[in-house]
Structure 1
Amino acid sequence: MPQISSTARLMRENGLTRGSPEMLLLRRQRCGKGFRFVGVDGGTIRDPAIIARLKSLAMPPAYANVRYAADPTMHLQAVGDDAAGRLQYRYHPDWLQVREGLKARKLESLAKSLPVISRAVRRCLRSDKADVRQVAAAVVHLVSKTALRAGSDAYARERGTRGATTLLKSNVQIDGEFVRLHFRGKGAKMVAREVRDRMLATTCRSLFALPGRRLFQYRGTDGALHVVRASDVNAFLRDVSGVRISLKDFRTLMASARVMQTLAGAPPAETKRARRALLRDAIAAAAEQLANTPTVCRKSYVHESVIAAFEKGGLPAAAGRSLEGTAQALVRVVARRR
Structure 2
Amino acid sequence: MPRVRGLVRARTSGPGWTRRRAGRGFVYLDEDGARIEDPEVVERLKALVLPPAWRDVWFAPDPRSHILATGVDDAGRRQYVYHPRWVEAHDRAKHARTLELAERLPQVRRRVTRDLRREPGSLERALAVAVRLVDSTHLRVGSERHTAATGNRGLTTLLCQHVRVEEGVVTLEFRGKSGQVWHTRTVDEDLAGAVASLLERRSPRARLLARREGRSWRPVRASDVNRYIQEISGTACTAKDFRTLHGSIIAARELARIGWSPDERERTRTVRAAVVRTSELLGNTPAVAKSSYIDPAILDRFHANELIDLHRGDANAYLALMRGGD
What TM-score does the superposition give when structure 1 sets the normalisation length? 0.85
Q: Deviations over 1:195-226 (max 9, x none)?
A: 11111112112222242333222323x44322
Q: Deviations over 1:247-301 (max 9, x none)?
A: 1111111111110111122122232221121111111111111111111111221
User: What displacement does 1:320 show?
Assistant: 5.5
In structure 2, the residue matched to 1:215 is: 208
2:121 matches 1:125 = no
Does the C-alpha gap of structure 1 residues 45 and 168 become closer, same or farther in structure 2, counting only changes over 3 Å? closer
Cα distance in 2 between the residues matched to 1:35 and 1:225: 52
Does the CA contact (< 8 Å) of 1:103 and 1:303 recur in 2? no
Q: Within 5 Å, which residues of 2 pair with 1:31-46?
A: 31=22, 34-46=25-37
Amino acid aligned to 1:79: T
In structure 2, the residue matched to 1:225 is: 217
Correspondent of 1:94 among 82, 85, 108: 85
Does the CA contact (< 8 Å) of 2:16 and 2:30 recur in 1? yes
In structure 1, the residue matched to 2:258 is: 266
Does the CA contact (< 8 Å) of 1:257 and 1:330 recur in 2? no
Correspondent of 1:293 among 279, 285, 295: 285
2:70 matches 1:79 = yes
Correspondent of 2:134 among 127, 138, 143: 143
User: What displacement does 1:142 show?
Assistant: 1.3
Does the C-alpha gap of structure 1 residues 24 and 288 become closer, same or farther in structure 2, counting only changes over 3 Å? farther
In structure 2, the residue matched to 1:103 is: 94
Correspondent of 1:204 among 195, 206, 210: 195
Does the CA contact (< 8 Å) of 1:172 and 1:180 recur in 2? yes
Does the C-alpha gap of structure 1 residues 53 and 175 become closer, same or farther in structure 2, counting only changes over 3 Å? same
Q: Deviations over 1:117-138 (max 9, x none)?
A: 1111111123346410011011
In structure 1, the residue matched to 2:143 is: 152
Does the CA contact (< 8 Å) of 2:147 and 2:153 recur in 1? yes
Unaligned runs of at least 5 residues, structure 2? none
Please state whether the residue corresponding to 1:279 is helix, strand or coil: helix
Cα distance in 2 between the residues matched to 1:42 and 1:81: 20
> Between the two proteins, what is the percent identity of the paired residues?
35
Query: Relative to structure 2, which stretch is displaced further, 204-213 or 281-290?
Result: 204-213
Q: Deviations over 1:57-89 (max 9, x none)?
A: 223455455432111110111234455655443
> Cα RMSD between the aligned structures?
2.5
In structure 2, the residue matched to 1:281 is: 273
Cα distance in 1 between the residues matched to 2:25 and 2:95: 41
Does the C-alpha gap of structure 1 residues 146 and 127 become closer, same or farther in structure 2, counting only changes over 3 Å? same
Please state whether the residue corresponding to 1:15 is helix, strand or coil: coil
Cα distance in 1 between the residues matched to 2:134 and 2:323: 24
Amino acid aligned to 2:229: L
Query: Relative to structure 2, which stretch is displaced further, 204-213 or 275-284?
Result: 204-213
Please state whether the residue corresponding to 1:28 is helix, strand or coil: strand
Tell me the number of residue pairs that the alignment of Structure 1 and Structure 2 aligns.
323
Does the C-alpha gap of structure 1 residues 42 and 29 become closer, same or farther in structure 2, counting only changes over 3 Å? same
In structure 2, the residue matched to 1:306 is: 298
2:39 matches 1:55 = no
2:240 matches 1:240 = no
Q: Deviations over 1:142-186 (max 9, x none)?
A: 110100111223333443322222222221122212111111111
